[in-house]
Structure 1
Amino acid sequence: MQYYNQETLIYLNGQFVKANNAGVDLFGQSLHYGYGAFEGLRAYSTHNGTRIFKAEEHFERLQQSCKAIGLPYSWDNRELIEKTYELLEVNNLRAAYIRPLIYSGSNMHLTASDHANIMIAAWEWGPYLGQNLIKVNISKIERPNPKSFPTSAKVSGQYINSILATSDAIQKGFDEALLTDQDGFVAQASSENLFIEKDFKIYTPPLGNIFPGITRETVIAICKSLGFEIIEKRLSVKDIYEADSAFLSGTAAGIIGIKQVDNVVFPEEWEDSIGSSIQRKYKNLVLEQENYEVII
């Protein structure tokens, strides 16, 4: 996929510059050690114009991710949101995926950087996992232990774990991978949160060994607004296999239904599932086709 052309602009340290002229610091810690933090946002074309969904929450999480790894963050989030809207305008984008990245300067030592840069890019990108039901497998690769790494932060280096799990799943004929935690409970997909339906209730792994997704929080709020019972508990592989249906949530993927896990096909038709109702509600929410304030 081509993410930019000769005319594409990015926001880089206070200026809009052409993406192909940005340059790379070949001695930066982010390049050598994965010492950086990033976010993923989506802008939607609504009847109210181009709107970035939960921009404040995403930039606040970006700031907290930097704090978690000692990466300097000197920017004002309100200004960054304004610049992001401006970035969409100068690139003539009404709907887009947005990627802010905080990366460090030159430093070959294994010490926290005293300087950081910011880059924000945007491009047209459909749902990350497509729009059809997906097949996933239980990966042999585990989520990082939260005692060894701030797993609640969206930090560049930890996504090597996700790349390995996803690549292995695709090689085996699946679309995505589910990763277990250090105790063998299913935590999440490589970059999405997991929900299962069983006996008209929705279950999702609790915070602690998972990434605290903003879309996950939105799904929980939607469940409550629709009157569906949602329970946060640790889920075994057996729990996943015995579910009636399941789905993933994430900014890039949206809400995507799961057809099967390993060789187990879920018995409930997706169109009849609670997940399908949540998917429709979420789409209406981000497109502002209903009262946005209901579940904020």
Structure 2
Amino acid sequence: MAQSVHEFHDDPRNADIRIWINGRLLPRAEATVSVFDSGFVLGDGVWEGLRVVGGQPVFLDEHLDRLFEGARAIALDIGLDRRGLEAAIRETLAANDMHDGVHLRLMVTRGPKRTPYQDPRASAGPATIVIIPEHKQAKPELVARGLKLFTVHVRRGYPDVQDPRWNSHSKLNCITACIQATQAGADEALMLDPHGFVATCNSTHFFIVRRGEVWTSTGDYCLHGVTRANVLRACAEEDITAREKNFTLTDVYSAEEAFCTGTFAGLVAVREVDGRVIGDGKPGPMVARLQALYRGLVERDVAVRAGERLA
């Protein structure tokens, strides 16, 4: 049975989490926003997903860089600076006594509207900021097995339509891709760019391994992925040849290995694409090596952030 890479085993502790909404910590059942909120009415907002390891939000600087970049691009005033958002995240984690095995969703919308209309000038108040923390980790059996992908007809669009680098609330492009992949019995959708080259997946980034080299797309038609960037960083540090380039499905079908990256699950091998088995259908040596290198980057980031707080 197909499963999303974001599948997890339910944790009963999540029933009692407290959610941060504009400075208030509310029980899950009471954590609501207005039906006039821009995020609900229009999908007008930006968001980030973060993992928490050793009590530290991992790669927080990179995630906040992307959040503020997206907010500036759509002329959204978040209303808090970086220090304020970090303080809100830490307040949320402390209120829930969370340290490890946590996934956190930070969402910012343009706030409530005077009337349900798209013009930002119809906004009636400041931005809505929501922080949802959950005890949640990727299913280990799915990570061990690897993913099955299906190439969908839905393409990543041009930046003059909706810049694919934005981590916006408006995700219908990716949702329709996800629906098609699910109906095809796959775990994730592989999406092409407008020119027919491989771009990304509906909720993760995509890599292949060919002749010892790691390939991923140019990045022109995909989100600026934090995990993607860290995999490329790990390759550079270890003298592993990594290329951001155009490549086609023909290159994918004959790859020795393939994998997806994302904040939630890290690196997960791909075992099959469009009915073609990749390699021997099992996670390969390059994936295992990069998983270890990525864990090392996480540990370094946690140590640095913990040291900064003690200083």
User: TM-score when scaled to structure 1?
Assistant: 0.89
Cα distance in 2 for residues equivalent to 1:207 and 1:163? 20
Cα distance in 2 for residues equivalent to 1:290 and 1:14? 26
Q: Could you say what secondary structure the match of 2:160 adopts?
A: coil
Residue 250 of structure 2, aligned match among 238, 243, 256? 238
Is 1:118 aligned to 2:132, yes or no? no
Is 1:134 aligned to 2:147, yes or no? yes
Deviations 1:178-221 (A, max 9, x none): 00111111100101111110011111101211111011110001
Query: Gaps spanning 5+ residues in structure 1: where?
Result: none
| Post-superposition offset of 1:167 | 2.4
The residue number in structure 1 matching 2:290 is: 278
Q: Percent identity?
A: 26
Residues 161 and 128 of structure 1, relative CA distance in 2, 3 Å threshold: farther
Q: Which has the higher helix share?
A: 2
Query: Gaps spanning 5+ residues in structure 2: where?
Result: 1-9, 306-311
The residue number in structure 2 matching 1:17 is: 26
- Contact 1:137/1:262, CA 8 A, preserved across alignment: yes
Cα distance in 2 for residues equivalent to 1:123 and 1:266? 33
The residue number in structure 1 matching 2:3 is: none
Q: Could you say what secondary structure the match of 1:23 adopts?
A: coil
Cα distance in 1 for residues equivalent to 2:158 and 2:48? 21
Matches within 5 A, 1:65-214: 65-95=70-100, 96-103=102-109, 104-106=111-113, 107-112=115-120, 114=123, 115-127=126-138, 130-131=142-143, 132-157=145-170, 159-214=171-226
| Post-superposition offset of 1:5 | 5.5
Matched residues, number = 288
User: TM-score when scaled to structure 2?
Assistant: 0.85
Deviations 1:56-102 (A, max 9, x none): 21122111111111222221112211221221121122121010111
Cα distance in 2 for residues equivalent to 1:178 and 1:69? 27
Residue 127 of structure 2 aligns with an amino acid whose one-letter code is A
Residue 209 of structure 1 aligns with an amino acid whose one-letter code is Y
Residues 170 and 240 of structure 1, relative CA distance in 2, 3 Å threshold: same
Cα distance in 2 for residues equivalent to 1:38 and 1:182? 25
Is 1:34 aligned to 2:40, yes or no? no
Deviations 1:85-139 (A, max 9, x none): 2211211221210101112212422212553111111001112793121110111
Cα distance in 1 for residues equivalent to 2:76 and 2:252? 37
Deviations 1:139-159 (A, max 9, x none): 1111122221122110011x2
- Contact 2:165/2:223, CA 8 A, preserved across alignment: yes
Q: Could you say what secondary structure the match of 1:280 adopts?
A: helix
Cα distance in 2 for residues equivalent to 1:23 and 1:73? 19
Cα distance in 2 for residues equivalent to 1:97 and 1:282? 17
Of residues 68-77 and 182-191 in structure 1, the stretch that sits farther from structure 2 once superposed is 68-77
